[in-house]
Amino acid sequence: MVDQRDKLRASRSAAVAAKDAFAAQYISGRVDCSVGLGVNERGDDWTMRVFAHSPTAAQALPDHFGEFDVEVEITGPAVAF
């Protein structure tokens, strides 16, 4: 577990840079998607976490970006109450 945390800490700046590049290429100017950085299900590497309003909004997104997985969650539009 400690080795995984150390690996994640050491690779964080590269993951943030990749997320920013992904956002610039695929998310910029869109109101139907947002992207964040998360840890994959195994807990051993970074992943792009994309939140899309609909399956249509997610269609053009890749499942990998560079060395990182892209995980898409269909959330529906945000609504203020």
Q: What is the CATH number of the domain that holds 44?
A: 3.30.300
CB 32 within 8 A of CB 54: yes
pLDDT recorded at residue 66: 92
CA atoms 23, 26, 31, 32: torsion sign: negative
The predicted pLDDT at position 2 comes to 66
Name the phi and psi angles at 33, rounded to 5.
Answer: -145, 150
Query: For residue 43, what are the domain limits?
Result: 2-74
Is 45 within a domain? yes
Tell me whether residue 79 is in a domain: no
- Tens digits of per-residue pLDDT, 1-52? 568 888 899 999 999 999 999 999 999 999 999 999 999 888 889 999 999 9
pLDDT value for 77 = 77
Count of domains forming the chain: 1
Residue 28 lies in a domain: yes
Nearest CA to 42 among 73, 4, 80, 2? 4
Mean pLDDT in residue range 62-81: 89
